[in-house]
Chains A and B, each alone.
Chain A
Amino acid sequence: MATIAGDLGKSVAARAGRRVAGSAWIVPPLIIIAALFVYPLVLIVRQAFTDADGLVSLAPLLDVLASRSFAGALVNTLEIALASTAACIVLGSVLSIIFSFVPFPGVAFVARLIDTYIALPTFLVTLAFTFIYGSAGIINAGLMHALHLQLPPVQFLYSAWGVVLAEMTVYTPFIMRPLMAAFSLMDRSQIEVASSLGGRPSYVLRHVIVPAALPALLAGGSLCLLLTVNEFGIVLFIGAKGVITLPLLIYTKAIQESDYSAACGIAMINIALSLGLFTLYRLIIARIGKANAAVVH
């Protein structure tokens, strides 16, 4: 009896030992996550609440929130992000519908070409735009030559519109990808039956095609909004006068003015905004998943 109890005790102890040894493997990745992802954010939060004397205070954050530069940057960020997202949704929807429902030779190649924009650095498009719409770009050079002008007539690239155009070009594929995937999964016979029942193309588009693609459009749109809110390279590269967004303001405060408390305070707001949008994106994705599961069942 004593032997059995002894064996049992040894076995339990051995299993517990194995469990501890197994758990030990979790520690290194947790340290890496803490060091790479959590600690930098903690530093930002701590800096945001540290005043010039090194004391913990709300004052630096309140000063930033009350500043005109922050308000302007917040408005610019939201305006540009919303305008770019809206433009991406319109252009992406139109292109996706054409590529999906009006087949033409080479459509797959063109769709892939647009898709590759996802892989390109964002400022690259801006660089290319300076050759087209910039002061010395093709359009201005052509117009100045043709109309004998002294100054370049097309200047929109160096305004918020230039940022919107560049962001629209870069982020439209983020709308097209999920949308074209949704269209490819759509039952074409639904469109045909709708048409046979008397639905004209515009009616079928509004009542059959768009509702079917709405979850994909919302997912693409919210991802697009998230990315445009945080866009830095395009805004910096264009260097438009008066177009200061939150990421650019953080850069200015931290690098040019060495005002780290202000930079971190703005960064906290930027993070909160991003997390809010990311939560929205995840909620939409989850809802799409549920709807799809319901259809399958």
Chain B
Amino acid sequence: MPTASLAAAMTQEAAMTRDAASAGTRVSFDKVTIAYGSSTIVDQLSLSIDPGEILALIGPSGSGKTTALRALAGFVRPIAGRILIGDTDVTNLPPYARDIGMVVQNYALFPHMKVEENVAFGLKARKAPSELIKERVASSLKMVGMSGFLGRYPRQLSGGQQQRIAIARALAIRPRVLLLDEPLSALDAQIRRNMVEELAKLHRDLPGLTVLYVTHDQVEALTLADRIAIMRGGKLAAHAPSNALYRRPPNRFAAEFLGRANLLEVQLGGHEQGTPYVRADFGGAILLANANPQLRQGDKALLCVRPHDLVLRRGEDHDNTIEGTVHNLQWHGDQHALTIGLGDDSIVRVVSAPLREPPAPGTTIALHFAAEDATLIAHEAA
């Protein structure tokens, strides 16, 4: 029996007996490089996903995130490096032998099959016994709240319902890894919000399931992912636990891409005695920010502060306060968004709860932020 066939048989046998809540599987990209002709799409990607973890892979268009997912699925073969699922090197295994479930943006349900047949597809392909197929189809559809739709065709379902069926189909085979490729992009905003909550609940029900979630939607990534990896130009720009990556972005790209942080060019001073903060000179104003061990006194750096961490002040004396002029003001219902020009021609964004007396454009205003909300990023890392 060829190696691929043997591996396929073994993984398929394992999948049939695997329990929904079984321990998860680690996924590793080990210096993976993918190229189409002379164009390198993914460059030396090294990244691992812990068992039972949701890792969101985000990045701008063309950053290589979907290609990395497709390489893990087996649709693209790396020219260098290895991909491991558990202890198995799957780099050269065909997709059907990798034991993965996959959900894509356009659902990819089989239009000539009823819901029941769609969900049973993977199990039938693996020649599972009919009792198991029946049981798995029922439990998978129950998991996504679609038990009553067995006899429907995909065209008789809404977009959200189709995506639930696609998820049930992927879960029915009890995959070691679930790949979600922009799974909610085709849905409208309200359904997308509901689906994010449902996906979060699903993962709570299946804590052992390792998930790679490719998305361009930061809210989805921040809501669902344990960790976030950001790709840029085929390389891994940053990766860390979601909260840490948002609160303490390691570089300018991560700060700007995830949450559109404000970045102020500063020169570092010394430590503020008795605090974990350092002083940063911003055009003569001394600001306090969390210390970055990689930066030293005198270094030029970027002070990163999130739009919602900037607070508007009038006539009050605060530390960590900068002055600026209101350029633009927009009301979004549940919040006000302001763009404020600072003295050095830089512009910062401020997001605030709805203001009772919003400042008119042209008004000079003071902005305050807490030192613990400010991060320093090395200027050369920009």
Chain A interface residues (CB < 8 Å from chain B): 187, 189-190, 192-200, 203, 207-208, 211-212, 294-295, 297
Q: In the complex the two chains form, what is the Cα distance from A144 to B285 in whole Å?
A: 101
User: Which residues on A sit within 8 Å (CB–CB) of B239?
Assistant: none
- CA of A225 to CA of B106, assembled, Å: 37
**Which of B95, B101, B110 is close to A195, meaning CB atoms less than 8 Å apart?**
B95
Q: Which residues of A contact B179 (CB under 8 A)?
A: 196
Contact B173 A192 (CB under 8 A): no
The majority secondary structure among interface residues of chain A is: helix
> Given A197-B170, A198-B173, A212-B111 in contact, is the A192-B73 Cβ separation under 8 Å?
yes
Interface positions, chain B 118-135, Cβ under 8 Å from A, are: 121-122, 125-126
Q: Which of B96, B106, B155, B166 contacts A198 (CB 8 A)?
A: B96
Known pairs A197-B121, A198-B126, A200-B125; A187 contacts B173 (CB<8 A): no
Q: B125 to A197, Cβ gap below 8 A?
A: yes
Contact of A197 among B75, B106, B112, B173 (CB under 8 A): B173
A207 cross-chain contacts in B, Cβ below 8 A: 110, 121, 125
Contact at A295–B155, with CB atoms within 8 Å? Answer: yes
B299 to chain A, nearest CB (A): 48
Query: For chain B residues 267-281, which have a beta carbon within 8 Å of chain A?
Result: none
**Docked-complex contact A190 and B110, CB < 8 angstroms:** yes
Task: Please name 12 pairs of A and B residues whose Cβ atoms are closer than 8 Å in the assembled complex, sorted by A.
Answer: A190-B108, A190-B110, A194-B125, A197-B125, A197-B170, A198-B12, A198-B99, A198-B173, A199-B121, A200-B125, A207-B125, A211-B110
Q: Please state if A297 and B170 are interface contacts (CB–CB under 8 Å).
A: no
Nearest CB of A to B167, in Å: 12
Asked whether A196 lies within 8 Å of B111 as measured between CB atoms, the reply is no
Complex CA distance for A297 and B126, rounded to whole angstroms: 33
Of the candidates A193, A200, A203, A297, the one whose C-beta lies within 8 Å of that of B102 is A193
Contact partners of A208 in chain B: CB under 8 A: 110
CA–CA, A153 to B69, complex, Å? Answer: 59
Query: Which residue from chain B places its CB closest to the CB of A211 in the assembled complex?
Result: B112
Selected from A187, A194, A212, A295, the residue in CB contact (under 8 A) with B121 is A194
A193:B104 contact, CB within 8 angstroms: yes
Contact yes or no, B111 A199, CB < 8 A:
no
- Say whether, besides A211-B112, A295-B111, A195 and B94 are in contact (CB < 8 Å): yes
State whether A198 and B75 are in contact (beta carbons under 8 Å apart), knowing that A189-B108, A295-B155 are contacts in the complex. Answer: no
**B377 within 8 Å of A by Cβ?**
no
When chains A and B are docked, how far (Å) is the Cα of A196 from the Cα of B96?
A: 5
Cβ-defined contact, B155 with A297, below 8 A: yes
Chain B neighbourhood of A195, CB < 8 A: 74-75, 94-96
Q: Which chain A residue has the least Cβ–Cβ distance from B156?
A: A294
- Chain A contacts for B104, CB-based, 8 A: 189, 192-193
B164 within 8 A of A: no
When distances are taken between beta carbons in the complex, the residues of chain A under 8 Å from B184 are none
Q: Complex formed: what's the CA distance from A294 to B157 in Å?
A: 12
CB neighbours (8 Å) of A192 from chain B are 73, 75, 95, 102, 104, 108
* Chain A residue with the shortest CB-CB distance to B98: A196
A197's nearest neighbour on chain B, judged by CB, is: B122
Shortest Cβ distance from A39 into chain B, in angstroms? Answer: 46
Q: Looking at chain B, what size class is its interface with the partner chain? A: 20 to 34
Q: In whole Å, how far is A85's beta carbon from the nearest beta carbon of chain B? A: 24
B239 to chain A, nearest CB (A): 24
Shortest CB–CB separation between residue B172 and chain A, in angstroms?
Answer: 8
A195, closest chain B residue (CB): B95
In the bound complex, how far is the Cα of B184 from the Cα of A205, in angstroms? Answer: 28
B residues 140-192 near A (Cβ < 8 Å) are 155, 166, 169-170, 173, 179
Rounded to whole Å, the gap between the CB of B212 and the closest CB of chain A is: 12
Q: Would you call A199 and B108 a contact (CB within 8 A)? A: no
* A208 to B111 CA separation, bound complex (whole angstroms): 9
Which residues of the partner chain A approach B125 to less than 8 Å between Cβ atoms? 194, 197-200, 203, 207
Please give, as numbers and ranges, the residues of chain A lying within 8 Å of B376 by CB-CB distance: none
Contacts of A196 in B (CB 8 A): 73-74, 95-96, 98, 100-102, 179
Q: Pick from A189, A198, A200, A203 the residue with the most CB of B within 10 Å.
A: A198
How many Å lie between the Cα of A192 and that of B181 in the bound state?
12
Q: Is the CB of A189 within 8 A of B74?
A: no
B375 to chain A, nearest CB (A): 39
Chain A residue contacts of B75, Cβ below 8 A: 192, 195
Question: Cα distance A40–B194 when bound, in Å?
Answer: 68
In angstroms, how far is the closest chain B Cβ from the Cβ of A199? 4
Q: Distance (Å) between the CB of A295 and the closest chain B CB?
A: 5
User: Which residues from chain A contact B166 at a C-beta distance below 8 Å?
Assistant: 193
Interface 1/0 per residue, B51-88 and A, CB below 8 Å = 00000000000000000000001110000000000000
User: A294 to nearest B CB, angstroms?
Assistant: 6
Residues on A with beta carbons closer than 8 Å to the beta carbon of B8:
198, 200
In order of increasing CB-CB distance, the 7 nearest A-B pairs are: A197-B122, A189-B108, A199-B125, A195-B95, A196-B102, A198-B125, A193-B108
Contact in complex: B112, A212 (CB < 8 Å): yes
Instruction: Give Cα A143 to B126, complex, Å.
Output: 50
Whether B155 lies near A200 (C-beta < 8 A) is no
**Is A294 touching B96 in the complex (CB atoms < 8 A)?**
no
Which chain A residues border B110 with CB–CB below 8 Å? 190, 194, 207-208, 211
From residue A292, how far is it (CB to closest CB) to chain B in Å?
A: 10
| Chain B proximity of A59: nearest CB distance (Å) | 52
- In the bound complex, what is the Cα–Cα distance between A297 and B155 (angstroms)? 7
B120 to chain A, nearest CB (A): 10
- Distance between Cα atoms of A112 and B112 in the complex (Å): 30
Complex: chain A residue closest to B15, CB-CB:
A198
B205 CB to nearest chain A CB (Å):
21
